[in-house]
Amino acid sequence: MEKVETFTVHFYDNGGTGSPTLAGFEHLISLKKLEVIADSSKSEIDILEWLNVESARHQNKFEVAVKYN
């Protein structure tokens, strides 16, 4: 997936049974933008904060765009 520049993921509310995770995006070497669609619950807010930290570490420092349901 070397040519993926934009990746969209939807985090659904799982009823508090755990927190959402996203792994492997560090291998998307051309990633420029990660679009996140989320419910406005605490677990999704935590993952968004984590994604912003990961963006700073990624070789392209991709943009994290957030849309709440």
Q: What's the confidence (pLDDT) of residue 19?
A: 63
Beta-bridged to residue 34, according to DSSP, are 7, 64
pLDDT digits (tens, 9 = 90+) for 16-58: 666 666 778 778 889 899 888 877 666 666 777 888 888 888 8
Residues 6+ apart with CB under 8 A from 16: 43
In 10 A of CB 36, how many CB atoms? 20
Cα–Cα distance for residue pair 36/62, rounded to 1 Å: 12
How many of the other CB atoms lie within 10 Å of CB of 53? 9
pTM: 0.71
